[in-house]
Amino acid sequence: MKQKINLAAILIAIFFIYSCKNTNNSHKKEDAVTQVKEVKKEHSKKDCNDVHWSHHKGEHGPENWKNLCDDFTDCGGNAQSPIDIISQSAVKDGGLNALKFNYGKSKVNIINNGHTVQFNADGENVVKINDKDYKLLQFHYHALSEHTINGKHFPLEVHFVHKHSDKDFAVLGIMFVEGKENELFKKYLEHFPTKKATYKADETIDLFKLFPENKSYFYYSGSLTTPPCSEVVSWYVLKNPVEASKEQIEKFSKILDNNYRPIQPLNGRKIKLFDK
Ligand SMILES: [Zn+2]
């Protein structure tokens, strides 16, 4: 009798251990599935931040930016930049106003981020457009120019990136032509980092002097020209260029290494002209 009870106890114990194990296993499985899902989710998010992209043709090149990760899909959108500006088709628009600059003197950090040479300026530099303030975040360079005018590239283009809100940027683009020495390049070209690095400049510079005197512009609605290519940019491409010497342009172009995005289709967008 005692033996029977013992046997029954053992059988019950085995049953419990077995069923517990089973429950544990199925919990473990569910946990594992959830974990994989979370890792995947995190992975694709992280992917977009860390994803490698390039200006040069190939797997990571401009034609493929839209496929590199979820947040880059705008790169395949309908209102992308840069574009070719056909000056004949730009419509003079009385509704456009002169850009009102409220730029001060700034100290700058010159950064090579692997895609461009960028100047981060301290202090408040603001441009007022249609009574809205846009704060200067940074300016950076492309070689060749990203925008073309009547199908023609310029050797360099600078972009002054201003922000009003997350969905409202104003970027001012200025073309370079070969001519007299450029004062800013004369001061700093020697210090432009040729690979990922930062140079802190000591002096303050007068940013307003980097613009041409006549600030007539072409306006159109477009995007950032690098991933994520968000379509949040009002573009003001100045009609008049600034100058730099042949030597300066050659030296800088070597560092920039063809960091320009190919021309994007206009898709019915209108280009407007403010001419003074
Ligand atoms: Zn740019």
- 8 Å CB contact between 218 and 239: yes
At 164 the pLDDT is 97
Cα of 115 vs centre of ligand 1, distance in Å, is 10
At 276 the pLDDT is 83
Domain range list for the chain:
73-274
The DSSP line for 208-221 is GGGS-S---EEEEE
Phi, psi of 204 (to 5 degrees): -95, 150
The DSSP line for 78-113 is SS-S--EE-GGGPEE-TT----EEE--EEEEEEEE-
3-state secondary structure 4-55: HHHHHHHHHHHHHHHHHHHHHHHHHHHHHHHHHHHHHHHHHHHHHHHCCCCC
At 11 the pLDDT is 44
Rounded to two decimals, what is the model's pTM? 0.83
| Tokens read off for 135 | 């704060």
Cα of 275 vs centre of ligand 1, distance in Å, is 23
Instruction: Please name the helix (run of DSSP H) or strand (run of DSSP E) that holds residue 3, with its range, or none.
Output: helix 2-50
At 50 the pLDDT is 83
Distance of CA 133 to the CA centre of its chain: 21
Query: CA 142, CA 257: separation in Å to the nearest integer?
Result: 9
At 6 the pLDDT is 56
Cα of 144 vs centre of ligand 1, distance in Å, is 11
Other Cβ atoms closer than 10 A to 110? 19
At 31 the pLDDT is 55
- 8 Å CB contact between 81 and 262: no
At 167 the pLDDT is 96
Q: Which CATH architecture has domain 73-274?
A: Roll (3.10)
| Tokens read off for 91 | 């419509």
Catalytic residue among 115, 153, 164, 191: 115
147 counts as catalytic: no
Cα of 45 vs centre of ligand 1, distance in Å, is 24
Per-residue pLDDT tens, the chain, 276 aa: give them. Answer: 445 545 445 444 444 444 434 444 445 445 554 454 444 444 444 468 889 999 999 999 999 999 999 999 999 999 999 999 999 999 999 899 999 999 999 999 999 999 999 999 998 999 999 999 999 999 999 999 999 999 999 999 999 999 999 999 999 999 999 999 999 999 999 999 999 999 998 888 899 999 999 999 999 999 999 999 999 999 999 999 999 999 999 999 999 999 999 999 999 999 999 998
